[in-house]
Amino acid sequence: MFRHITRPVHPLVANLAHTWLRWQVWPQALALLAARLCLFEAFARSGWLKLQDWEATLFLFQEEYHVPWLPPEWAAWLGTGGELVFPTLLALGLLARPAALGLSVVNAVAVIAYPDLAPAALKDHHLWGVLALGLALFGAGRLSVDAWWWGRWGRRLAPWAQGSSADPMRAAIVPERLRM
């Protein structure tokens, strides 16, 4: 009933699209790396400070930070562990999407457990939440262990991904003969 009508793409347009699609990944990779390092700096520093004085950390979790569904000692261990493990994974770009989701949970629990946050601190938590959400949605980028691993081993372990294009726009714009 309906036919898909296609027009031939001018070679200059196809070459420009190919060049754009080939080089756009590097600014994206740098932006994702900056987001990963920003989260690492904020959360790893906090976790490291908690480790430096564990007695003070336990006191804070007993008196100030009230995690409603966990005993204070468990909350201290899990919070400190999350602030050290998830940002380290993110900085490396290793299991970045699960690490970003885990860090989102740590961030949300921190806001819930300490409702007396100053407005500036709450804005920081919002920024960190948005960065973590972006990393959970888009991954760590090319400058990551995940990208290296997928490029090296993933295609062998996932043969169904061999023929598919990672970017649907690329498949729609760039003719097959011009694809990398």
C-beta of residue 40 within 8 angstroms of C-beta of residue 87: yes
Nearest in space to 67 (alpha carbons), one of 41, 124, 105, 99: 105
Q: What is the dihedral sign for C-alpha 138, 159, 144, 94? A: positive
**108-118 pLDDT, tens digit each:** 999 998 888 89
Taking the C-alpha atoms of residue 95 and residue 111, their distance in angstroms, rounded to an integer, is 24
Average pLDDT over residues 140-147: 92
C-beta of residue 18 within 8 angstroms of C-beta of residue 178: yes
Average pLDDT over residues 118-130: 94
Give the pLDDT of residue 65.
86
**75-110 pLDDT, tens digit each:** 999 999 999 999 999 999 999 999 999 999 999 999
Give the pLDDT of residue 164.
46
C-beta of residue 84 within 8 angstroms of C-beta of residue 48: yes
Taking the C-alpha atoms of residue 50 and residue 45, their distance in angstroms, rounded to an integer, is 9
Q: How many CB atoms lie within 10 A of CB 24?
A: 12
The angle, 0 to 180 degrees and rounded to 10, between the axes of the packed helices 25-52 and 119-138 is 130
Looking at the chain, the whole-number percentage of residues with pLDDT higher than 70 is 81
SS3 124: helix
Q: What is the dihedral sign for C-alpha 97, 103, 109, 112? A: negative
Q: Does pTM surpass 0.85?
A: no
Give the pLDDT of residue 31.
94
Give the pLDDT of residue 20.
78
C-beta of residue 162 within 8 angstroms of C-beta of residue 155: yes
- What single letter denotes the amino acid at residue 107? N
Of 4 and 122, the structure prediction assigns the larger pLDDT to 122
**3-47 pLDDT, tens digit each:** 555 566 778 877 887 787 778 888 889 999 999 999 999 999 999
State CA 86 to chain mean position distance. 10
**159-176 pLDDT, tens digit each:** 555 544 454 444 455 455
